[in-house]
Chain A
Amino acid sequence: MINRGEERSSPAPGPAHPRPKPGWRHSLQSWVTTVDHKRIGILYGVSAFVFFLIGGVEALLIRLQLARPDNTVVSAETFNALFTMHGTTMVFLAIMPFSAAFFNYLVPLMIGARDVAFPRLNALSYWIFLAGGLLLHASFLAGTPPDAGWFGYANLTSRQFSPTASIDFWILSLQVLGASSMIAAVNFIVTILNLRAPGMTLMRMPLFVWMTLVVQFLVILAFPPVTVGLIFLMFDRFFGARFYDVAAGGDLHLWQHLFWIFGHPEVYILILPAMGIVSEVLPTFAGKPLFGAPVVIYSGILIGFFGFGVWSHHMFAAGMGPVADAAFSMATMIIAIPTGVKIFNWLATLWGGAIRATTALHFAVGMIGLFTIGGLSGIMHASPPVDLQQTDTYFVVAHLHYVLIGGSLFGLFAGAYYWWPKITGRLLDERLGRWQFWVLFAGFNLAFFPQHYLGAMGMPRRIFTYPAETGWGFWNLVSSIGAFGIAFGVLLFLINAVRSLGRGAPASADPWDGRTLEWRTSSPPPVHNFDAIPTVYGRDTFWREKYGPRREPRAPAPPDPHGVHVPPPSVWPVVTALGVGGAAAGALIHVAVVVGGGLLAVYGVFRFALEHHEHHAHEHQTGTLGVDHRKAAMWTFIGSECLLFGTLIATYMAYRGRSVVGPYPRDVLAVPITTISTFDLLMSSLLMVLALAAVQRGDRVQTRLWLAGTAFCGLIFLGFQAYEFTSFVHEGLTLQQNLFGSTFFVLTGFHGAHVTLGVLWLLALLVLDLRGRLHARDAIKVEIAGLYWHFVDIVWIVIFTLVYLIP
C-alpha cells in the first residue's frame, strides 16, 4: 500500500499498484495534478513530440519552397517566419523537452530514488514549459509569428524594424520557457546530488545521470545571460529603453554576446543528453562495460566547462579583432579533444563486444558517425579565416543539423527504443524500428550532406528563393527529397509507437539484460519505483547483482520510519503556471491581464508553499550529502543568480560613459543618501541571522521581533530607492533618456524587485509565526529565506561600489 502524502508506520510496501478510478474526468484530473516524475516525463515526451511534428512541418515547407529555383510556395515574409519558428521550436520545444522527458522518467529510477527532490516544482516546470510553448504558437493565431531568426539579432528585433507583436511573442515565450528550464535544472541538480541510493557515489552514477547533471549546471549558468538580453530587448520594445539603440550609443554586439554566451552552451545542453544515452545503450548491447567510463565522465564535464569559453566563435564575422578571434579559436579547437575522447571510448566499447544489433544500437552507432561528421565541420568553423568563408552559408546549416539531428535526435531515438519497454511495458517492433533507422539515416544524409556543397558554392542561408543561374537547383531538390525521407522515418516511428501501445509484445522488467537500476524494477515501474531502495555495489550495479562475483548480499537500506512517502497530487503547480503564462500573454493584451496573471501566480506560489507546511514528511529532507534539499536548492539558485546580476552589472559597466546625452552619473548619484540605505540593508542581514538563531532555539518572541525588523529594514531600503528613482526622474534621468538611465534603472530596479520579493517572503514567515505555525523544526524555512536575503545584500555591496563609489 502506498501513501500519498500521509505517513506510514509499516515497513516498506509490497508491489501493489494503485488502481485508478474509471472515467475520463478522473483520468484528466490525475494527469493535470500529477507530481509523479514518470507521468511528468511522459507529459514532456508527448508535448515535445507534438511540437517536433509542428517544427517538422515548418521544415518541410521550407524545403518545398527551396526545392526549385524561383519557387513561389510561400512568400518571403512567410519564409522568414517559418525558419524562425522552426529553429525556435526545435531547440526549445522539441529537443530540450525530449531530453527533459528522459531526465524526468529515468534519473530517479537510475539513482534509486522514489521521485525527484521537489515533485511539485517538477510539475510546475512542465506546466510553465507548456504555457511558453502555447504562447509562442499563439503568434500564428494572432497572425504575427516571429520572423527575425531563432537568434533574434538586434536590431532586426527593434520596434523600428519589427513593429508588430511578432518579436514580443518570441521574447515573452522564451522568458517563460527559460523559467521552466531553470526550475527543472535546480530540481535535478538537487535530486542527483542529494537523492542517490546508498552506495551510489558520484563516480558510480550511470553516464546518463552524469550528463544530466552537467546539462543542468549548463542551464543554470547559461540561461541567465540570455534572460538578461531578452529583458533588455523587452525594455527597449515595451518601455523605450536604449540598450540596443545605436543612436544612443548602444552596442548591437551586446545582444550577440549575451545570446551566444547562452547559445553555445545550449548546443551542449542539446547534445550531452544524447551522449549520455549512447553511453548507456552501447554497453548493454555490446555486453561490455563502457570503456574508460571515468574518462567519459570527465570529458562530459570538460565539454560543459569549455562550452562557456567558445561563444564568440559565432561572431568571427562581427569584427572582434585578432586577439579575441585567436582566443576563441583556440578554445573551440580545445573542446574537440574531450569530444574526440568520447567518440574513441564509444568505439572501444563496441570493439570485441558481443554485439546485439537492436534498433537502439543502430541509432546509437548512427549517432556516433553522424555527430562525428558534424563535429569535424565544427572544427573547421574554429578557424576564423575558414569560418569567414562559411558564415551565413548553407555549410553552417549542414553542420548544425549534423550535430542536432545526427547527434541529438539520433541519440534520443536510441533512448526511445531502449527505454520504451520500461516506460510502456511493451516492446516496439524491432523490424519496423530498423526500417525506420535506415529510412531516417538515408533521408537525413540526403537532406543535409548536399548542403555542405551548396554552402561551399556560396548559397546563403535564410534566402527564400534563388535564380536558376546559380546552379543550386539540383542539390536543393536532392535536399528536399531527403527532408521528406526524414518525415517518412518519423512517420514510421509514430506507426511503431501506436502499434506497440495497442498490441505490442509485453516487456519484462529487464528485456535487454540491462546494467543499471531502472531495469531492476517492473516495466512500467510502480508509482513508488522500488519496493525497497536498492543498495549500490558499483558502476553498472544491476549487472553486478546479476553476474558479478559472488558476495554476501548487503542488507537493504533500513525502512523509513515514516514508511514510503509518495507525494500527493497538487493543483497548485498548474494554477501557478497558468498565472505565469497569463501574465506573459497579458503583456500583449492589457496591463490588467498582466496584473491578474501575476496575482494568480503569487496566490498559486503561496498555496503551493503552504500546502504541506505542517506535514511531518516535509520536516526533514536531508539527503545523500547530509544537507536539506531546500538549502541545496537555494544555493543552486543563488549560483544562477550570480550569472543574472553578473550580466546586469557587466552591461552597466560596458555602457559606462557611452551615453551621448545627459544627465550623467556624476549629475545625479548621491553617495550620502545611498550610504544610509546601504547601511540599512547591511543591518537587515544582521537582523535576519538573529531571526534564524532565535527560531532555532525556539524563542518565538525574538523570532517575530527580528523577522519584523528585517522586513522593516527592507521596506526602508525600498523607500530610499523609490525616493532616489523619483528624484532622478525629476532631474531628467529616465529609462528612455540615455544608456545610463536604461542600465541604471534596470540594474537597480531588478535588485529592488528582489528586495520586494524578500520582504514578501519574510512577511509570509512572520504571518506563519503569528499564527503559531513556525516552530524550531521549521528553522530551515527561515534559513533559506535568510540565504536569499543575504544574497540580495551582497549584490547590493557590489552595486554600491561599482555604480556609486567608483568614479
Chain B
Amino acid sequence: MSEPGQGTVGTYVMVAIVLTLITALEVGVIYIRQLAPIIVPLLLVMAAAKFALVALFFMHLRYDGRVLSSLFVGPLVVAVGLAVALMTLTGAFLVFDR
C-alpha cells in the first residue's frame, strides 16, 4: 500500500536489496587485482548507482515533480563542477600543466 505517486513497500524492499548487493560488490571488487586498472571508474559508477537509487526511490524524486528534482539536481551539478574544478586547481589531479 502506498500514497498516490509513491512506491510500494515491495519496491522499497527491492531497492534496499539492490543497495546491499551493490555495496557487497563494491567491497568485493577492491580485492580483485585484475580490476585495478578500472577500479576507480568502476567504484564511482557503483556509488552513482546507489546514490541514484536512494534519491529516486527513497527520496521519491522518481514520483515528484520536476521542480523538486531541479532544486536538487541543479545544485548537485554545480557542486560536482566546483569540486572537480577545485581539485584540478589545487593539483589533486593534473589535467593540464601548471
Interface residues of A (CB under 8 A from B): 189, 193, 220-221, 225, 251, 253-254, 257, 261, 308, 312, 320-321, 323-324, 625-627, 631-632, 635-636, 638-640, 642-643, 645-647, 649-651, 653-656, 671-672, 675, 678-679, 682-683, 685-686, 688-690, 693, 696-697, 779, 786-787, 790-791, 793-794, 797-798, 800-802, 805-807
Contact with A308, one of B1, B59, B78 (Cβ below 8 angstroms): B78
Interface residues of B in 22-71 (CB under 8 A from A): 23, 26-27, 30, 39-40, 43-44, 46-47, 50-51, 54-55, 57-59, 64-65, 67-68, 71
With A220-B75, A650-B83, A798-B47 as given contacts, are A193 and B90 in contact (CB-CB < 8 Å)?
Answer: no
Contact A650–B82 (Cβ < 8 Å): yes
Residue of B nearest to A315 (CB): B89
Give chain B nearest CB distance to A262 CB in angstroms. Answer: 11
Contact B58–A688 (Cβ < 8 Å): yes
Residue of B nearest to A305 (CB): B78
List of B residues within 8 angstroms of A645 by Cβ? 79
Interface residues of B (CB under 8 A from A): 1-3, 6-7, 9, 12-13, 15-16, 19-20, 23, 26-27, 30, 39-40, 43-44, 46-47, 50-51, 54-55, 57-59, 64-65, 67-68, 71-72, 74-76, 78-84, 86-87, 89-92, 96-98
With A193-B67, A790-B54 as given contacts, are A682 and B16 in contact (CB-CB < 8 Å)?
Answer: yes
Contact B79–A794 (Cβ < 8 Å): no
Contact A646–B43 (Cβ < 8 Å): no
Contact with B46, one of A261, A651, A801 (Cβ below 8 angstroms): A801
Contact B82–A639 (Cβ < 8 Å): no
Complex alpha-carbon distance, A600 and B82, angstroms: 36
Complex alpha-carbon distance, A683 and B12, angstroms: 10
With A221-B75, A642-B75, A675-B23 as given contacts, are A797 and B51 in contact (CB-CB < 8 Å)?
Answer: yes
List of B residues within 8 angstroms of A253 by Cβ? 89-90
Contact B58–A251 (Cβ < 8 Å): no
Complex alpha-carbon distance, A282 and B12, angstroms: 55
Contact B65–A807 (Cβ < 8 Å): no
Complex alpha-carbon distance, A794 and B76, angstroms: 12
Residue of A nearest to B39 (CB): A807
Contact with B86, one of A647, A671, A779 (Cβ below 8 angstroms): A647
List of B residues within 8 angstroms of A640 by Cβ? 75
List of A residues within 8 angstroms of B1 by Cβ? 693, 697
- 13 residue pairs from A and B, CB less than 8 Å apart: A254-B90, A321-B96, A324-B96, A635-B71, A646-B82, A650-B82, A650-B83, A651-B86, A688-B58, A689-B57, A693-B12, A801-B47, A805-B26
List of B residues within 8 angstroms of A802 by Cβ? 47
List of B residues within 8 angstroms of A638 by Cβ? 71-72
Q: Given contacts A654-B91, A689-B12, A797-B47, could you give 16 more A-B pairs where the C-beta distance is less than 8 Å?
A: A251-B90, A257-B90, A631-B68, A638-B72, A639-B71, A642-B78, A649-B83, A653-B83, A671-B27, A672-B27, A696-B2, A696-B6, A797-B51, A798-B51, A802-B47, A805-B43
Contact A642–B79 (Cβ < 8 Å): yes
Residue of B nearest to A626 (CB): B65
Give chain B nearest CB distance to A31 CB in angstroms. Answer: 33
Chain A to chain B: the 8 pairs with minimum beta-carbon distance, closest first: A646-B79, A639-B75, A650-B83, A801-B47, A321-B98, A686-B16, A642-B79, A654-B90
List of B residues within 8 angstroms of A805 by Cβ? 26-27, 30, 43
Contact with A801, one of B12, B26, B55 (Cβ below 8 angstroms): B26
Complex alpha-carbon distance, A636 and B76, angstroms: 11
Contact B75–A647 (Cβ < 8 Å): no
Contact B90–A801 (Cβ < 8 Å): no
Contact with B68, one of A312, A635, A797, A801 (Cβ below 8 angstroms): A635
Residue of A nearest to B29 (CB): A805
List of B residues within 8 angstroms of A787 by Cβ? 59
Contact B12–A806 (Cβ < 8 Å): no
Complex alpha-carbon distance, A338 and B38, angstroms: 43
Complex alpha-carbon distance, A224 and B83, angstroms: 12
Give chain B nearest CB distance to A798 CB in angstroms. Answer: 6
Give chain B nearest CB distance to A264 CB in angstroms. Answer: 12
Contact with B12, one of A643, A654, A690 (Cβ below 8 angstroms): A690
Residue of B nearest to A633 (CB): B71
List of B residues within 8 angstroms of A650 by Cβ? 82-84, 86-87, 92
Contact with A225, one of B9, B43, B82, B87 (Cβ below 8 angstroms): B82
Complex alpha-carbon distance, A650 and B65, angstroms: 30
Contact A797–B54 (Cβ < 8 Å): yes
Give chain B nearest CB distance to A566 CB in angstroms. Answer: 27
Complex alpha-carbon distance, A631 and B67, angstroms: 11
Contact B92–A656 (Cβ < 8 Å): yes
Count chain B CB atoms within 10 A of each CB in A639, A697, A798 and give the residue with the most.
Answer: A639
